[in-house]
Chains A and B, each alone.
Chain A
Amino acid sequence: KAGVTQTPRYLIKTRGQQVTLSCSPISGHRSVSWYQQTPGQGLQFLFEYFSETQRNKGNFPGRFSGRQFSNSRSEMNVSTLELGDSALYLCASSRVEGDTQYFGPGTRLTVL
């Protein structure tokens, strides 16, 4: 069974731009969560989607948003990029909410 896939793997943007990251969960998994990983703050929860509904949101500004499609694929969007948004963005999927979360390889975003 294929794992969680994330595209693109690497991205370079400039301040003020916006970016969209994509995540395809493991086949049959319906819950998708997003995390931000930085050297200073570690792994921080962004949001979780299940059945196309955002079920939980972390403490991030409204510039961070996401959505989930009917096939469980998910996208996250960051608008008006700031230097501090440079991070590894990780997507994790689980069969249902509360089940084991399996992580993708991440998208490395660099904001210049």
Chain B
Amino acid sequence: QQQVKQSPQSLIVQKGGISIINCAYENTAFDYFPWYQQFPGKGPALLIAIRPDVSEKKEGRFTISFNKSAKQFSLHIMDSQPGDSATYFCAASRASNDYKLSFGAGTTVTVRA
């Protein structure tokens, strides 16, 4: 079964708006939560990652919020640009053991100019 649930499946946002993607997990042993961005015909590229000892991490226009008690984490894309149009995947792993990434189903983001 899918260990990481991601929503929404797709979203459309206007240029300059905020895109929000949510993920939930069940396995409390997960201790590493990366987000990947994938453009058509390319492999996933690491965007930003967080570990459960912090509740928020920001890199440029991208912010991860992490809620350990709710077992949820989310990606916020501020001031969305047309170049942000891509598919975004959340993932989780036990970085201290096992190491394999369990991915969410992906969210296709379209930014309208």
Contact = CB atoms under 8 A, between A and B. Distances in A.
B12 to A, nearest CB: 20
A100 B91 CA distance: 12
Nearest to A50: B99
B45 A103 contact: yes
A106 B101 contact: no
A56 B45 contact: no
A70 B100 CA distance: 22
A4 B46 contact: no
B46 A100 contact: yes
A97 B89 contact: no
A56 B98 contact: yes
Given A42-B105, A43-B89, A56 B99 contact: yes
B36 interface: yes
17 contacts: A33-B100, A33-B101, A42-B103, A42-B105, A43-B101, A43-B103, A55-B99, A56-B99, A56-B100, A92-B101, A97-B99, A98-B95, A98-B96, A98-B97, A101-B46, A103-B36, A103-B44
